Copies of this chain bind each other. A is one copy, B any other.
Amino acid sequence: MRSRRDRYHHGDLRNALVAAATELARAGGPEAVVLREAARRVGVSATAAYRHFDNRQDLLLAVKLAAQERLADAMAGAVAAGAALSDRGEEAERRLLAMARGYIGFALAEPGLYRSAFQHQDLPPKEPGRHPRARSYAMLAEVLDELLAAGRMPASRRPYAEIAAWSPLHGLCLMFLDGSLALPGDEQRDEVIERVLDVVAAGLRHT
């Protein structure tokens, strides 16, 4: 591994650049992703990056996707951290809440990555396989299907329920991050989170 790095041909430069750029995003958000700096950190000339990315925007897209992966990991991790419940409906609700908490926790713990994951892109997505949030979206869809199957959600609520359930979390996190919500103290913040989750859960349950 060490010997590979020392060689003229890096061997895994694309991934190394994405990792370095992602670290920049982690520290300072998407604006902080500087192609030259990423190359510098990998110990490679800036030009070398152009072997693997069309331009800075393209690198930023890779960072976006990496950040989305980490977000999905946080959600999956939160689900896995709790014990499964025997009742099907209760288990579905537990998982939904765990995902939500994992999501919010990630946003608050890694604001730079979170903002990068939802960073505005002018370009239309070219490759369908790269579609944003595919994994976390699928996780959410599955749990909503379970909720429906267990009779904890009316069928009329199912269409676009992913988006209805997701939007409040996303909006809340961004309001925390952009300073729109000036909340002093953690316990007040936690209380807000609880209120928002309550409303979402009730909204999905009732018609």
Contact = CB atoms under 8 A, between A and B. Distances in A.
Contacts of A84: none
Interface stretch (A36-44, A46-54, A192-200): A192-200
B199 A203 contact: yes
Nearest to A181: B163
Given A131-B182, A180-B132, A203-B202, A166 B171 contact: yes
Secondary structure call for the A interface: helix
**Copies, count:** 2
A191 B174 CA distance: 24
Contact of A196 (B29, B133, B167, B198): B167
B125 A180 contact: no
Interface of A: 29, 115, 118-121, 124-125, 131-133, 157, 159-161, 163-172, 174-175, 177-182, 191-192, 195-196, 198-207
